[in-house]
C-alpha cells in the first residue's frame, strides 16, 4: 500500500543515520527492520512520511519550482514510510557493507551493488566550502563499499570516494557535443571513402582530445568500418560520470543513487506499484521526483578558484567602496597577497611543464549552453525507461542556460547583481567555458591504482580522468579515498601518467610548493546565507 504524504519542513529533522557495519555471513538476528505492511500501517497512525513528491512542481514546467523541489529532496531525511532503506538483516535498515548473503538484498529490482547506506543525499554529499556553507561533496570516511559481482566475498569488494556535485551540467553538455563530433567524423569518413572509392583513415578527435582512429575500406554501400577506440567505449559515446566513466547522464547518476545509496526505489527502474526492495512501499521515487533531482543537480554552481574569488573582492572594494567590502566579508571571499597570487600563477605553469595538462585539460568549451531534461541529444535520453515506464516528452523538456540561470552563488550589492559565480563563464564566441581540469577520457593508471576486479570491463587499472575543479575542498583523493593529501594522489599515479609522476618527484621543493598552491586554489564556493 502507499501512504498519504504530508509536507513537513526539512529543517525540523536532524536525526543521525544508523548504519549496520557487520560483515556478510555473520549470524542474523530474528528481528528485522519494520517493512511489514501491518507494522507500517501502525507506524503511519502516529508518524508521517518526510517527503513531498515533485509531480505537481514538474507539471508546472517552471525551472525554479522544479529546482526548489529537487533541493528539498536532496536535504530531506527519508523515513520508513517513504521507503528509505530496506531489511538488510541483523535488524538493520542501512548497511555500509553489501549483503549478497541475503536473499532480499541480492534479488532487488534492479540488483543493488551497495547499501542502502544513508537516509538523505547530504549525508554523504556535504563538505565545507569557501563561503562557509557546505554542499555537494563527500567528506572523509564516507566511502561507498560496492559488491558489483554480488559474490559476497570481501575480496571482490571495491570502494568509491564520494565526488562533489558542482558543475555537472557542463560535463554532460561537453559529453553530448563530443559524442556528436565523433559520430559526425565516422559518418564523414564513410562518406569520403564511398565517394572516392578508396580507403580512408582519420583520427577521432573532439575538442582537441584524441579518442583513437577510424579506417573505412570500400566497396560501398557496405564498406568495412574499423574503429580503434582509445579511452572511450567502442560505441564512441562519452559517459562523463562515475570514476569509471560508466554513467551516461545526470538522470542515470541520480536514479542510481536513489536506488543504491538510499534504498529509495525509483519507479523508472522497478516499475509502477512494484515493491522492488521488499520494504513495504511502492512508487518511492516517481519519474517526476527524479526529474526534479536531475534538474537540481544539473543547476548546481560551477567550481571556482581562490584567484577568481580574490579578484572579486578587489572589484567589490574598488567599485562599491565600504558596501562592497562588507559584501565580500559576508561572503567569506579570500584576500590573497601578491606573493600568494604569484605562487598560484607559477604553480599553474609548473602543472603544464610536468605534463599534467595532457589529461587534466584546464578548460573545454561547449557551443550549446542550454541544458535540457530530457536531453536534446538522442543518445542521452530514453524513450522508454527500464521497467516499461514512459519517458519524458522532449517537446516538453525543462531547459535552462548554464551561463545564466543557476539560482545559487549570485553576488548582489544592494539590489544589483554584480557577479554570478554559479553560472559558467562565456568566451568571446558566446560558448560556455567548462574549467574542469579533465578530458572525459579513460586512461590506464598503472598497477598501483588497479583493483582486484574489473567492475566495468574497461580494465582494472583504467579510470576516467578525475576533474580537478573543487580539488581543495574534496579530500581525501582518488577513487577509493586512499590519498589523504594531494601529494599522495600524485605519487599514486602510474601507467599513462608515469612520466608526469616522475617529473613531479624531480621538482625542487619550492616548485612543488607552488604546484600545490595552484591545486589548492581550485575550490568550491557556496556562501552560508544560502543554506
- pLDDT tens per residue, range 316-336: 999 999 999 999 999 999 999
Neighbours of 249 (CB within 10 A): 26
**Res 73: pLDDT:** 97
- Tell me the average pLDDT of the chain: 90
User: Which residues, at least 6 apart from 428, have a Cβ–Cβ distance to it below 8 Å?
Assistant: none
Q: Are 283 and 2 in contact (CB under 8 A)?
A: yes
Write the pLDDT tens digit of every residue in 349-402: 999 999 999 999 999 999 999 999 999 999 998 766 666 566 678 888 999 999
Write the pLDDT tens digit of every residue in 469-500: 999 999 999 999 999 999 999 999 999 999 99
Quote the Cα angle for 448-141-421, to 5°. 95
158 shares a domain with 98: yes
**Res 17: pLDDT:** 32
Report the distance separating Cα 111 and Cα 94, nearest Å: 16
Secondary structure (H, E, C), 460-483: CCEEECCCCCCHHHCCCECCCCCE
**Res 384: pLDDT:** 63
> Residue 201 pairs with which residues in a beta bridge?
215
> Residue 419 pairs with which residues in a beta bridge?
411
308 shares a domain with 250: no
399 within domain boundaries: no
505 shares a domain with 426: yes
Quote the Cα angle for 161-165-169, to 5°. 135
**Res 529: pLDDT:** 63
Nearest to 251 by CA among 220, 282, 290: 290
383 within domain boundaries: no
Q: Are 49 and 81 in contact (CB under 8 A)?
A: yes
Question: 231 by DSSP, 3-state: which?
Answer: coil
489 shares a domain with 415: yes
Cell numbers found for residue 49: 512520511
380 within domain boundaries: no
Report the distance separating Cα 232 and Cα 229, nearest Å: 6
Nearest to 373 by CA among 430, 290, 429: 290
Cell numbers found for residue 29: 538476528
Lowest mean pLDDT of 84-98, 182-196, 224-238, 459-473, name the range. 84-98
Lowest mean pLDDT of 101-105, 395-399, 501-505, name the range. 101-105
User: Which residues, at least 6 apart from 155, have a Cβ–Cβ distance to it below 8 Å?
Assistant: 452
352 shares a domain with 280: no
Neighbours of 63 (CB within 10 A): 18
385 within domain boundaries: no
Count of domains for the chain: 3
287 within domain boundaries: yes
269 within domain boundaries: yes
51 within domain boundaries: yes
**Res 184: pLDDT:** 98
Cell numbers found for residue 397: 523538456
Report the distance separating Cα 326 and Cα 328, nearest Å: 5
Q: Are 470 and 434 in contact (CB under 8 A)?
A: no
104 shares a domain with 177: no
The arithmetic mean of pLDDT across residues 17-29, rounded, is 34
135 shares a domain with 109: yes
487 shares a domain with 476: yes
Give the residue carrying C-alpha cell 551540467.
Answer: 169
The arithmetic mean of pLDDT across residues 74-102, rounded, is 91
User: Which residues, at least 6 apart from 361, have a Cβ–Cβ distance to it below 8 Å?
Assistant: 208, 209, 436, 437, 438, 439
Cell numbers found for residue 369: 549552453
Element (H, E) at 146: strand 144-146
**Res 135: pLDDT:** 72
Neighbours of 452 (CB within 10 A): 11
Domain that holds residue 208: 169-229
Element (H, E) at 100: none
| pLDDT band at 105; cut points 50, 70, 90 | confident
Element (H, E) at 499: helix 498-505
426 shares a domain with 334: yes
Report the distance separating Cα 496 and Cα 444, nearest Å: 6
128 shares a domain with 89: yes
| pLDDT band at 140; cut points 50, 70, 90 | low
336 within domain boundaries: yes
273 shares a domain with 132: yes
184 shares a domain with 292: no
> Residue 442 pairs with which residues in a beta bridge?
464
Report the distance separating Cα 283 and Cα 290, nearest Å: 12
The arithmetic mean of pLDDT across residues 23-51, rounded, is 72
Report the distance separating Cα 118 and Cα 93, nearest Å: 9
Amino acid at each position: 500500500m502507499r501512504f498519504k504524504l504530508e509536507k513537513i519542513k526539512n529543517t525540523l529533522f536532524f536525526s543521525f543515520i544508523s548504519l549496520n557495519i557487520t560483515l556478510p555471513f555473520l549470524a542474523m538476528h530474528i528481528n528485522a527492520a519494520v517493512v511489514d505492511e501491518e507494522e507500517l500501517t501502525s507506524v503511519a497512525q502516529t508518524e508521517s512520511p518526510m517527503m513531498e513528491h515533485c509531480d505537481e512542481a514538474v507539471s508546472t514546467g517552471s525551472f525554479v519550482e522544479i529546482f526548489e523541489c529537487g533541493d528539498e529532496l536532496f536535504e530531506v531525511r527519508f523515513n520508513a514510510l517513504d521507503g528509505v532503506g530496506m531489511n538488510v538483516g541483523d535488524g538493520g535498515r542501512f548497511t555500509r557493507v553489501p549483503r549478497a548473503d541475503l536473499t532480499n538484498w541480492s534479488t532487488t529490482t534492479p540488483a543493488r551493488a551497495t547499501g542502502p547506506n544513508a537516509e538523505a543525499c547530504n549525508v554523504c554529499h556535504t563538505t565545507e566550502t569557501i563561503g562557509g556553507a557546505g554542499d555537494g561533496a563527500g567528506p572523509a570516511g564516507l566511502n561507498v563499499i560496492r559488491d558489483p559481482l554480488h559474490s559476497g566475498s570481501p575480496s571482490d569488494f571495491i570502494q568509491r570516494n564520494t565526488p562533489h556535485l558542482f558543475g555537472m551540467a557542463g560535463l554532460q553538455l561537453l559529453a553530448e557535443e563530443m559524442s556528436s563530433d565523433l559520430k559526425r567524423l565516422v559518418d564523414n569518413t564513410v562518406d569520403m571513402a564511398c565517394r572516392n572509392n578508396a580507403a580512408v583513415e582519420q583520427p577521432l578527435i573532439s575538442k582537441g582530445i584524441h579518442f583513437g582512429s577510424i579506417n573505412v575500406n570500400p566497396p560501398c554501400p557496405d564498406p568495412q568500418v574499423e574503429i580503434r577506440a582509445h579511452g572511450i567505449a567502442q560505441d564512441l559515446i562519452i559517459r562523463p560520470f562515475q570514476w569509471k566513466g560508466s554513467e551516461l547522464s545526470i538522470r542515470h547518476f541520480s536514479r542510481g543513487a536513489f536506488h543504491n545509496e538510499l534504498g529509495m526505489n525509483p519507479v523508472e527502474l522497478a516499475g509502477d506499484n512494484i515493491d522492488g526492495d521488499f520494504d513495504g512501499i511502492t512508487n518511492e521515487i516517481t519519474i517526476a521526483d527524479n526529474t526534479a533531482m536531475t534538474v537540481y543537480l544539473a543547476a548546481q554552481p560551477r567550481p571556482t578558484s581562490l584567484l577568481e574569488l580574490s579578484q572579486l573582492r578587489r572589484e567589490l572594494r574598488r567599485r562599491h567602496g565600504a558596501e562592497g567590502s562588507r559584501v565580500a566579508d559576508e561572503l567569506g571571499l579570500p584576500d590573497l597577497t601578491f606573493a600568494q597570487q604569484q605562487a598560484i600563477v607559477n604553480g599553474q605553469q609548473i602543472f603544464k611543464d610536468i605534463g599534467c595538462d595532457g589529461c587534466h585539460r584546464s578548460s573545454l568549451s561547449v557551443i550549446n549552453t542550454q541544458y535540457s531534461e530530457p536531453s536534446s541529444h538522442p543518445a542521452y535520453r530514453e524513450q522508454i525507461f527500464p521497467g516499461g515506464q514512459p519517458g519524458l516528452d522532449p517537446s516538453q523538456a525543462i531547459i535552462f542556460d548554464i551561463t545564466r540561470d543557476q539560482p545559487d552563488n549570485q553576488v548582489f550589492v544592494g539590489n544589483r547583481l554584480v557577479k554570478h559565480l554559479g553560472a559558467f563563464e562565456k568566451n568571446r564566441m558566446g560558448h560556455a567555458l567548462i574549467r574542469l581540469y579533465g578530458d572525459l577520457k579513460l586512461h590506464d593508471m598503472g598497477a598501483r591504482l588497479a583493483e582486484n576486479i574489473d567492475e566495468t570491463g574497461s580494465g582494472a587499472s583504467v579510470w576516467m580522468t578525475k576533474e580537478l575543479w573543487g580539488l581543495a575542498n574534496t579530500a581525501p583523493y582518488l577513487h577509493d579515498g586512499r590519498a589523504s593529501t594531494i601529494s599522495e594522489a600524485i605519487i599514486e599515479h602510474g601507467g599513462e601518467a608515469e612520466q608526469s609522476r616522475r617529473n613531479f618527484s624531480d621538482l625542487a621543493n619550492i616548485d612543488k610548493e607552488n604546484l600545490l598552491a595552484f591545486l589548492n586554489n581550485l575550490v568550491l564556493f557556496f556562501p552560508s546565507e544560502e543554506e
